[in-house]
Amino acid sequence: MAKPEQLSFKQIRYFQAIAEAGSFRRAADRIGVKQPTLTVQMAALEATLGTILFERNRSGVVLTPAARDLLPRARRIAEEFKAFADQAQGVSGESTYRLGVTPTLGPYLLPRVLPSIHQRFENLRLYVREAIPAQLGSDVKSAVHDVVLTTLPLQSDELEVSPLFRESLKLALPLEHPLAQKRTIKAEDLVGEAVLTIDEQHLYHRQVSALCESLGATVNRDYEGTSLDTLRQMVVMGMGITFLPALYVASEINDSDTLRVTDVGGVSMSRDHVLAWRRRSPARVFFRQLADAIRTIANEQFEGEVTLL
């Protein structure tokens, strides 16, 4: 009788990814492997363990009782493996971490803060990957990312969350819009206005929707952008008005853009950003230092547009 293959860390990591993603396809997308690879590895793992781990259905997989019992231990093994790697990197004088960022913040914040970050931490290397906030929260808990830069709300007893700063939101209008000629735009001016936003998978969509509800405006569901750049171009083309984050405005909008960007008088429009990591992360002391550095540098680079939390 042939002996089953020995258990490997890769198989444990794949098992954790599938269990937390709820399907082989989503797990493959998260960790960057092909789905047949996961299928082969899970078949080998089940043969080694002598038990079935997943029941397949139309929407994905369901964990068997054995898998539910094994998942917490798989997470601890992943933590220990990462701690081993971090200690080895420390011995070699280098520290490499996987940083997850939201696409409505990372591209406009990181280019302004990373040069100073690398001056302060010369041996630091960051692998950056974008994802929506809900995905970031899940991925940092499952060790796909070591640390994430994301937008509140983010609630989990498994994570340590360090507040960074509050970012203001700006109203953007095409120059031909009647409100663009007003010296000061007030909340009552936006009652009944249709506001463009990005698609609903993004947290920013829900934040803009809540803001519109408080102002008496509505979300224009006929046109939804896929990015902040798309929103800006839609406004420039006269398709409507929108709200844009201040860091995006500072980074991407210049005098050649034919639109008006302004505050709304008497209305506080903002969103809060944080750095978060697993409470048991072996790098948690460093991540606190990193959060302090990002907070300080962002305050210097975006003076007047952010408020420290």
**DSSP assignments along 131-152, one per residue:** --HHHHHHHHHTTS-SEEEEES
**269 vs 207: CA distance, rounded Å:** 10
Q: Are residues 82 and 31 in the same domain?
A: no
- Give domain status of residue 1, yes or no: no
Residue 91's pLDDT is: 42
The confidence score (pLDDT) of residue 9 equals 86
Handedness of CA 272, 251, 144, 34 (dihedral sign): positive
Sign of the Cα torsion 293, 299, 305, 309 reads: positive
The answer to whether residue 4 sits within a structural domain is no
Q: Are residues 97 and 65 in the same domain?
A: no
Pairing, β 306-308 against β 159-174: antiparallel
* Residue 175 domain boundaries: 166-270
Asked if 156 and 103 sit in the same domain, the reply is: yes
pLDDT at 92: 43
Indicate the length of the chain as a whole number.
309
154, 277: one domain? yes
What is the Cα–Cα distance from 263 to 186, expressed in whole angstroms? 9
Q: Per-residue pLDDT for the chain (309 aa), expressed as one digit of tens each? A: 344 567 888 888 899 989 888 889 888 888 888 888 999 998 988 888 889 999 988 888 889 999 889 988 888 888 777 767 666 655 444 578 999 999 989 999 999 999 999 898 888 888 999 988 888 888 888 888 899 999 988 777 889 999 999 999 999 998 888 888 888 888 898 888 888 898 888 888 888 888 888 888 888 887 877 888 888 888 888 888 999 999 999 888 876 668 888 888 888 888 999 999 998 888 888 899 999 999 999 999 888 888 898
Q: What is the pLDDT of residue 110?
A: 92
What is the rounded CA–CA span in Å between residue 214 and residue 188? 11
Q: Quick check: is 3 in a domain?
A: no
Q: Are residues 99 and 50 in the same domain?
A: no
Q: Please report, for the domain that includes residue 137, its CATH number.
A: 3.40.190.10
**Is residue 23 included in any domain, yes or no?**
yes
Q: How many domains does the chain have?
A: 3
